[in-house]
């Protein structure tokens, strides 16, 4: 019985949200929710934005879809054929893919990907990345439990 109660308390505490003040939220979220992987000497990272992240960063949640920021260093000329998010339930392709221009030496290629459907904790697939890298898969973190602290 004690084991069951301890297990139940652990599950309840694990599922709790963490509230972070607005001025600390973006940095905290970036640190805790960024997925990173290396392929062919290129360091890739991905960050699936939540409505709270968008509210902290831009003052408004953009819409009901899902946006993912993808970066790659040290390249400044990468491209990929297509992008998908994949879960056990569904596969959704990106409806918008925008490369953010950077003009600094050593800066990352940055892409913002928009998906019509939100699938937290899904796999991100960058299909046929240029320069012979091939496809890159990254598990997106499900960070819905990080909440923007209300005043």
Q: pLDDT tens digits for 14-45?
A: 457 888 888 899 999 999 999 999 999 999 99
Distance, CA of 114 to CA of 85 (rounded, Å) = 10
Q: pLDDT tens digits for 91-145?
A: 999 999 998 866 655 567 889 999 999 998 899 999 999 989 999 999 999 998 9
Helical (H) or strand (E) element with 46: strand 42-48
Distance, CA of 62 to CA of 129 (rounded, Å) = 28
Helical (H) or strand (E) element with 13: helix 2-14
CATH for 21-143, among 2.60.40, 3.40.390, 3.40.50, 3.40.1350?
A: 2.60.40
User: In the chain, what are the domain boundaries?
Assistant: 21-143
The whole model's pTM is what?
Answer: 0.80
Q: What phi and psi, each to the nearest 5 degrees, are found at residue 67?
A: -115, 140
Tell me the C-alpha to C-alpha distance, in Å, between residue 115 and each of 5, 15, 122: 40, 26, 12
């Amino acid at each position: 019985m004690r084991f069951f109660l301890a297990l139940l308390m652990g599950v309840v505490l694990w599922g709790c949200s963490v509230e972070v003040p607005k001025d600390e939220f973006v940095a905290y979220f970036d640190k805790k929710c960024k997925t990173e992987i290396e392929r062919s000497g290129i360091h890739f990272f991905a960050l699936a934005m939540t409505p709270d992240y968008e509210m902290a960063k831009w003052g408004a949640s953009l819409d009901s879809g899902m946006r993912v920021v993808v970066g790659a260093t040290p390249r400044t000329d990468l491209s990929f054929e297509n992008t998908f998010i994949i879960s056990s339930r569904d596969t959704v392709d990106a409806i918008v893919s925008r490369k953010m221009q950077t003009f600094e030496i050593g800066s990352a290629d940055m892409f913002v990907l928009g998906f019509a459907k939100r699938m937290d904790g899904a796999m991100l697939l960058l299909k046929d990345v240029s320069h012979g890298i091939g496809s890159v898969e990254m598990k997106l973190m499900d960070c819905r439990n990080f909440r923007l602290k209300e005043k």
